């Protein structure tokens, strides 16, 4: 039997339920979201608003509030607020019929076994016989939740555990029940990975599954270590931090974010749920946390937890940290550790820095890290096969669900398994038998690479087992290791990704665009035209590209190397135009930030295959210049293309060009690929890759499809407003300036932009060539670069990392 | 010279911008219905008696284009022999139309004219759909300055406090609310069969109509505390807000004018006459001060003093400029006595640009009649930097 989820239902419109519905909408899945009818009477205020116990608005109010919350949530849950219309709402008493045609139903209600069981008994009566049924429980046993279900329904029942916030957290734990059909588990994995864009880890039906078992231990262990070593809260957070590959909020900051109460109850529950766990005592919350709970110091939601942000008498913002001995808040000072500092400066990659800290004898930080990590390692090893069978499952959950840079076994590999076992012995920690066994067999790491791929050490098979390749995951470093590099320089490489398609990858810092990158774009075009079917422009960086290397620009300006700067811009324009009009298809695949030049490159592909999480914008005015790599030109093309012949010349293009002027003039950045479409940076006809791991594959498939019929594009002609746009811009900017919405210099820069967009001293409705606009971009860029205030802006950005409004 | 008299004056209710009852009705349709209503009020006048229709409109384009005066005349069933025209002096257009009609009749060039104004702000944005400022006027951009900025300029340059502006905001709404409660406007309003587009039971888009008979912009109860929470949309840190500025509104208003002889012939009792009218120019960037110059100018023409005027309708484009104008003229106390904008103003029931002068005329004449008073002034500031004022005398 085959399954296909076209319509889903979410039961329970709390934060988690509503934001899951939001992300399903992002994935193009319509859903029904139901919650209970409020179990209390409308208040006076409600009655005044015309709400009664019988009114629909009142009966649906939980679901309505949930959806509104998701629309307003920050960071945004929806790619675009427009997606909210894909979620229909109702209540569990009046609207059960809305469930009759859904293909998938996910329960996200309160963690109470009886309530869940009763709910499923109710749902069973209305759903389709092939509807997949799931619970988003974070800890209750799947076995018990489904206890009272019919055998038929149990076959279609499983745990599908999203992490908060679902749009941004990659992990989904899938927990099959004892009799769940394999085809259901397989389909859900496919659906979650390919449609919803998540990373799936299959878990066993044990308390807290994988992530929250290992994760809770990780946090409890850190807090215990803090108490044992007499560290302060800020001290702990300074050590278990970036060098260990932890998120910026570290340990205590993360608990503040999640809520002390939530963390506390997860710990408490584990004490009861896993009484035979050898480390069960670690889960007992320390006494000071009892007091925090009593005082309702629950973290960010009550404005104080481990930390408290407040204002002093002068109104200056101050950060305080809890002294858990006195239970008083004391001023926060950032602790400094020589060992941490040195580790950060250690040559090499993440592993080298971590290793340096792990073995450091400089101060207490090394000691803390050793003890904390060793305990983590041992605990994780002891959980196999209790919670899952492989090391990579544990690693994936911690990376995808807890934002750790590396999972415990990968971290263990980084510090060296053999050496760390010696450390464990000196710390008098019990080294798991399976680890000594592994070392005895000569296997000194959990992961290893061989000719034919990546292997992991399997405790059960007592040897390395090959990890399954996913053909949809194209990893450029792996291909490079296999000599698939066609050409490379210091800034970029061209990699053969198979089937006649190449991938142009940037590799500068933050993927900034410099001379090397530009020349590589040009060279790549030549190579592709001659020898390949087409090209993908993509990389694995956090950010596709943050734009031009402004340091290089500033140096050129300060040395008055105007010809050089002119050539640099000219080269970029030339390279991008070459890409746009290549005889072979070029697909750009932006993800993360694609700003300034990065946005321009994305826009010059013949097609674009963005990742859902693409943050795109032409932000040049922030440093006092305007897009000069064809960004203005291309946005003009995008916003005026598709008009039937004869329309452009007579159309009132005022709203169109005002939009272009404001997008660039106010440096508007889209916060998703969908928003980038709304702003005009990406064509609305493009598809979005929700799963970034699959993005290069998606783009490659697009190239291959295009290659079959591809013809070189006819040059674009752009309808412009001529001088009339200058008049409009001047009037609009005048008001903005007088309303204090922009400075004199903002106005000056934006007028330069208007000068470009006007297209020349011509009549409204004239069509101009792309080259005409590119020339104006270059001229305006150079003239602005020569101005002191622009240079001040660039300098400010380089030194402070944020724009200067001068 | 003939005497030009007003025999009837009516208006549509004001519908709030985009959310009000007239938001989906075409501008010309509102005008047509008001003119039809006016004709019904004076059955003594046969359609062919009306010589001309002069319609004020600030943005005469799109649905208000194609010579709105002629469109409305024909649309209301006047014969092809009745001519029509549009006048535009922005916010004074409606008053300008009545002034022009008066002058024409006095000159003996015409003996019966319908004059007034019509504007759908919901459909035609301020500035019009096609805004094309002169590209070479880099040094004279003030010509096109936004009205909000001019209000901020007046507030800042003449120290009109936020509190004073908000006080007028509350008072305007209070007066309008009271007027509606007392039913003071019932007689002057021509109900409109407003258009509404929506989906029917089958999900098909269809047009329906609904009768709309009272201004829908009044915000009551309004409090200073709530008003103080609003921010200026025009200027960061500014003081002109949505609650102390005029509302954008849709509406139409028309007045029937004729020579005294013609009125006598038709046995119609004249209500009033526009005795004097003046327009004065001032700085575009503080356009709101206009009434402060126009009122003295028209009084001088008439040889009258402020004390000779019983009631004023000074358009509340923005509380800042209305307060400034009253203060400079020395009639701020008369505002609080209820002699200026006695039933509230544009802050409460809106400012449908080209219609406003005609609408205020209708309100003023009805109030003078109700209070049995003699003389009143309608005045307003005008975009681009002008003020207009007209003196009405009851007959």
- Are residues A730 and B133, on separate chains, in Cβ contact within 8 Å? yes
- Are residues B132 and A735, on separate chains, in Cβ contact within 8 Å? no
CATH 1.10.1040.50: which residues of chain A?
A: 211-464
Which B residues, 229 through 258, put their C-beta within 8 Å of a C-beta on chain A? 234-238
Domains of chain B with bracketed CATH: 142-186+274-394 (3.40.47.10)
- Are residues B234 and A731, on separate chains, in Cβ contact within 8 Å? no
Please tell me which of the candidates B130, B132, B145 has its beta carbon nearest to residue A735. B145
Residue for token digits 């119609």?
Answer: B268
Query: Residue B84 forms beta bridges with which residues?
Result: B53
Output the pLDDT for position A775: 97
Question: B238-279: per-residue pLDDT in tens?
Answer: 999 999 999 999 999 999 999 999 999 999 999 999 999 999
Closest CA to A573 of A627, A515, A629: A629
Q: Does A723 touch chain B (CB under 8 A)?
A: yes
Q: Does B336 touch chain A (CB under 8 A)?
A: no
Output the pLDDT for position B279: 98
Contact A154, A177 (CB under 8 A): yes
Q: Does A190 touch chain B (CB under 8 A)?
A: no
Q: Cα A278 to the chain's mean position, in Å?
A: 36
Q: Does B79 touch chain A (CB under 8 A)?
A: no
Please tell me which of the candidates B129, B134, B237 has its beta carbon nearest to residue A727. B134
Tell me the average pLDDT across B52-77.
97
CA separation, residue A649 to residues A32, A614, B159 (Å): 46, 34, 48
Q: Cα A384 to the chain's mean position, in Å?
A: 29
**DSSP-assigned letters across all residues of A260-316:** HHHHHHHHHHHHHH-TT-TTGGGGSPPHHHHHHHHTT--BGGGTBSSEEEEE-TTS-
Output the pLDDT for position A1: 61
Of A648-662, B139-153, B190-204, which one has max mean pLDDT?
B190-204
Output the pLDDT for position B138: 63
Q: Does B283 touch chain A (CB under 8 A)?
A: no
User: Splitting chain A (806 residues) into consecutive groups of 10 residues, what average pLDDT does each group show?
Assistant: 91 96 97 96 87 92 96 94 96 96 96 94 93 93 93 95 95 96 96 97 95 96 95 95 90 90 90 94 94 93 91 86 94 92 91 94 94 97 96 97 96 96 95 96 94 92 94 94 95 97 96 96 97 98 95 92 94 98 97 97 98 97 96 96 81 94 96 97 97 98 96 92 94 92 96 97 94 98 96 94 89
User: Which chain A positions have a beta carbon within 8 Å of B152's beta carbon?
Assistant: 738-739
Q: Does A747 touch chain B (CB under 8 A)?
A: no
Tell me the average pLDDT across B37-57.
98
Please tell me which of the candidates B131, B136, B141 has its beta carbon nearest to residue A654. B131
Q: Does A761 touch chain B (CB under 8 A)?
A: no
The CA distance from B125 to B129, in Å, is 6
User: Which chain A positions have a beta carbon within 8 Å of B136's beta carbon?
Assistant: 723, 727
> Has residue B22 got a pLDDT over 80?
yes
What proportion of chain B, given as a percentage, has pLDDT over 70? 99
Please tell me which of the candidates A652, A725, A731 has its beta carbon nearest to residue B141. A731
Residue for token digits 């919901």?
Answer: B122
CATH 3.40.50.720: which residues of chain A?
A: 7-202
Residue for token digits 């079959």?
Answer: A708
- Three-state secondary structure call for residue A779: helix
Instruction: Enter the tokens of residue A334.
Output: 């950032």
Element (H, E) at A374: helix A364-382
Contact A480, A493 (CB under 8 A): yes
CATH 3.90.226.10: which residues of chain A?
A: 477-797
Output the pLDDT for position A301: 85
Output the pLDDT for position A436: 95
Q: Does A654 touch chain B (CB under 8 A)?
A: yes
Question: B97-112: per-residue pLDDT in tens?
Answer: 999 999 999 999 999 9
Maximum C-alpha span of chain B: 66
Output the pLDDT for position B1: 81
Sheet with A463-466, side-by-side order of all strands? A447-450, A453-458, A463-466
Q: Does A726 touch chain B (CB under 8 A)?
A: yes
Please tell me which of the candidates B133, B235, B236 has its beta carbon nearest to residue A727. B133
- Are residues B148 and A739, on separate chains, in Cβ contact within 8 Å? yes
Contact B344, B172 (CB under 8 A): yes
Q: What CATH code would you report for A7-202?
A: 3.40.50.720
pTM for the structure as a whole: 0.91
Q: How far is A73 from chain B (nearest CA, A)?
A: 23
Sheet with A485-488, side-by-side order of all strands? A485-488, A492-496, A501-506, A534-537, A586-588, A607-608
- Are residues B236 and A735, on separate chains, in Cβ contact within 8 Å? no
Which residues contact residue B151 at a Cβ distance below 8 angstroms, ignoring those fewer than 6 apart? B234, B240, B245, B288, B317, B318, B320, B321
Output the pLDDT for position B140: 65
Contact A604, A632 (CB under 8 A): no
Tell me the average pLDDT across B4-22.
97
| Residue A756: other Cβ atoms inside 10 A | 30
Which residues contact residue A643 at a Cβ distance below 8 angstroms, ignoring those fewer than 6 apart? A651, A719
Query: Sign of dihedral through CA atoms A551, A554, A556, A562?
Result: positive
Output the pLDDT for position A258: 86
Q: What CATH code would you report for A477-797?
A: 3.90.226.10
Q: How far is B148 from chain A (nearest CA, A)?
A: 9
The verdict on whether B355 is a catalytic residue reads no
Q: What CATH code would you report for A211-464?
A: 1.10.1040.50
Its ipTM equals 0.90
Which comes out higher in pLDDT, residue B86 or A648? B86
Mean residue pLDDT of chain B comes to 96
The verdict on whether B118 is a catalytic residue reads no
């Amino acid at each position: 039997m085959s399954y296909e989820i076209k319509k889903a239902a979410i039961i329970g419109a709390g934060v988690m339920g509503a934001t899951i519905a939001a992300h399903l909408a992002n994935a193009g899945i319509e859903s029904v979201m139901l919650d209970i009818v409020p179990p209390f009477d409308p208040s006076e205020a409600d009655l005044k608003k015309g709400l009664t116990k019988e009114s629909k608005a009142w009966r649906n109010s939980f679901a309505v509030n949930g959806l509104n919350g998701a629309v307003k949530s920050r960071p945004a849950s929806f790619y675009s607020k427009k997606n909210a219309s894909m979620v229909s709402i109702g209540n569990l008493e009046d609207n059960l019929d809305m469930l009759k045609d859904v293909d998938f139903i996910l329960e996200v209600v309160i963690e109470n076994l009886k309530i869940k069981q009763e709910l499923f008994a109710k749902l069973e009566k209305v759903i389709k016989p092939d509807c997949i049924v799931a619970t988003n429980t974070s800890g209750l046993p799947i076995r018990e939740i489904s206890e009272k279900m019919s055998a038929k329904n149990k076959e279609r029942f499983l745990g599908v555990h999203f992490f908060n916030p679902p749009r941004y957290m990659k992990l989904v734990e899938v927990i099959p029940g004892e009799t769940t059909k394999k085809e259901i588990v397989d389909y859900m994995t496919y659906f979650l990975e390919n449609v919803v864009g998540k990373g799936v880890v299959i878990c066993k039906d044990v308390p807290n599954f994988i992530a929250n078992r290992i994760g809770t231990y990780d946090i409890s262990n850190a807090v215990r270590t803090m108490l044992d070593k007499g560290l302060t809260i800020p001290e702990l957070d300074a050590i278990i931090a970036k060098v260990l590959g932890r998120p910026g909020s570290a340990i205590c900051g993360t608990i503040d974010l999640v809520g002390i109460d939530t963390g506390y109850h997860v710990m408490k529950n584990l004490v009861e749920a896993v009484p035979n766990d050898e480390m069960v005592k670690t889960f007992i919350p320390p006494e000071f946390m009892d007091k925090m709970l009593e005082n309702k110091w629950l973290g960010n939601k009550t404005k104080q937890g481990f930390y408290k942000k407040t204002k002093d008498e002068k109104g200056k913002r101050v950060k305080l940290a809890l002294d858990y001995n006195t239970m008083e808040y004391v001023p926060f000072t950032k602790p400094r550790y020589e060992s941490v500092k040195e580790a950060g400066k250690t040559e090499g990659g993440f592993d080298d820095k971590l290793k340096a800290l792990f073995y450091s004898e400089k101060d207490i930080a090394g000691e803390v890290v050793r003890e904390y990590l060793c305990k983590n390692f041992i605990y994780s090893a002891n959980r196999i096969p209790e919670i899952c069978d492989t090391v990579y499952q544990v690693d994936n959950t911690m990376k995808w669900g807890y934002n750790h840079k590396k999972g415990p076994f990968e971290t263990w590999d980084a510090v060296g398994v053999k050496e760390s076992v010696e450390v464990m012995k000196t710390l008098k920690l019990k080294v798991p038998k399976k680890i000594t066994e592994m070392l005895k067999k000569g296997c000194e790491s959990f992961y290893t690479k061989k000719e034919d791929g990546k292997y992991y050490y399997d405790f059960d098979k007592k040897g390395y087992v090959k990890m399954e390749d996913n053909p949809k995951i194209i990893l450029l470093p792996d291909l490079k290791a296999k000599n698939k590099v066609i050409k490379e320089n210091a800034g970029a490489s061209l990699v053969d990704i198979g089937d006649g398609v190449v991938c142009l990858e940037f590799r500068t810092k933050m993927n900034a665009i410099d001379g090397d990158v530009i020349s590589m774009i040009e060279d790549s075009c030549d190579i592709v035209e001659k020898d390949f079917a087409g090209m993908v422009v993509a990389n694995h960086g956090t950010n596709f590209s943050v734009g031009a290397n402004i340091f290089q620009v500033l140096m050129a300006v300060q040395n008055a190397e105007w010809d050089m700067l002119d050539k640099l811009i000219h080269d970029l324009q030339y390279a991008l135009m070459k890409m746009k009009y290549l005889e072979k298809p070029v697909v750009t695949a932006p993800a993360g930030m694609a700003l300034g030049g990065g946005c321009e490159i994305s826009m010059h592909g013949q097609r674009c295959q963005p990742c859902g999480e693409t943050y795109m914008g032409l932000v040049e005015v922030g440093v006092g210049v305007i897009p000069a790599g064809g960004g203005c030109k291309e946005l003009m093309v995008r916003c005026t293309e598709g008009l039937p012949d004869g329309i452009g010349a007579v159309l009132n293009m005022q709203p169109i060009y005002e939009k272009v002027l404001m997008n660039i003039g106010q440096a508007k950045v889209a916060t998703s690929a969908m928003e980038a479409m709304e702003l005009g940076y990406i064509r609305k006809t493009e598809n979005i890759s929700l799963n970034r791991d699959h993005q290069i594959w998606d783009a490659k498939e697009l190239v291959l499809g295009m290659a079959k019929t591809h013809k070189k594009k006819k040059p674009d002609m752009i309808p412009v407003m001529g001088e009339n746009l200058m008049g409009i811009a001047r009037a609009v900017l005048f008001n903005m300036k007088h309303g204090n919405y922009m400075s004199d210099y903002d106005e000056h820069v934006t007028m330069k932009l208007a000068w470009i967009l006007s297209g020349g001293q011509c009549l409204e409705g004239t069509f101009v060539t792309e080259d005409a606009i590119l020339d104006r971009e270059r001229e305006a860029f150079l003239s602005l670069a020569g101005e002191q205030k622009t240079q001040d802006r660039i300098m400010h950005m380089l030194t402070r990392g944020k724009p200067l409004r001068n | 010279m003939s005497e030009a008299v007003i025999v009837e004056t009516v208006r549509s209710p004001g519908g709030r911008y985009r959310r009000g009852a007239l938001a989906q009705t075409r501008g010309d349709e509102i005008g047509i219905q008001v003119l039809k209503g006016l004709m019904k009020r004076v059955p003594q006048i046969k359609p062919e008696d009306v010589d001309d229709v002069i319609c004020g409109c600030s943005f005469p384009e799109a649905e208000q284009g194609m010579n709105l005066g002629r469109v409305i005349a024909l649309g209301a069933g006047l014969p092809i022999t009745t001519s029509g025209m549009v006048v535009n002096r922005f916010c004074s257009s409606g008053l300008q139309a009545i002034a022009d009609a008066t002058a024409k009749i006095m000159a003996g060039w015409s003996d019966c004219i319908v004059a007034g104004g019509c504007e759908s702000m919901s459909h035609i944005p301020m500035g019009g759909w096609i805004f094309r400022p002169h590209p070479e006027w880099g040094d004279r951009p003030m010509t096109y300055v936004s009205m909000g900025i001019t209000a901020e300029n007046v507030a800042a340059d003449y120290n009109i406090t936020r509190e004073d502006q908000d006080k007028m905001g509350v008072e305007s709404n209070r007066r309008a609310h009271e007027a509606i409660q007392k039913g003071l406007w019932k007689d002057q309003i021509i109900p409109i069969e407003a258009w509404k587009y929506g989906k029917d039971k089958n999900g098909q888009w269809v047009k329906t109509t609904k009768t709309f008979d009272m201004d829908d912009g009044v915000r009551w109860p309004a409090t200073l505390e709530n008003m103080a929470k609003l921010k200026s949309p025009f200027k960061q840190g500014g003081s002109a807000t949505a609650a102390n500025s005029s509302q954008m509104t849709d509406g139409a208003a028309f007045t029937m004018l004729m020579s005294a002889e013609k009125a006598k012939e038709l046995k119609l009792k004249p209500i009033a006459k526009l005795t004097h009218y003046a327009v004065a120019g001032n700085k575009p960037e503080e356009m709101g001060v206009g009434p402060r110059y126009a009122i003295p100018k028209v009084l001088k023409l008439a040889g009258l003093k402020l004390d000779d005027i019983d009631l004023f309708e000074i358009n509340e484009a923005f509380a800042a400029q209305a307060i400034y104008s009253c203060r400079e003229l020395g009639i701020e106390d008369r505002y609080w006595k209820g002699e200026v904008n006695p039933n509230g103003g544009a802050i409460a029931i809106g400012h449908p640009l080209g219609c406003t002068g005609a609408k205020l005329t209708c309100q003023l004449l009805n109030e003078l009649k109700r209070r049995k008073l003699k003389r009143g002034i309608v005045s307003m500031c005008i975009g681009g930097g002008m003020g207009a004022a007209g003196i009405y005398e009851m007959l």
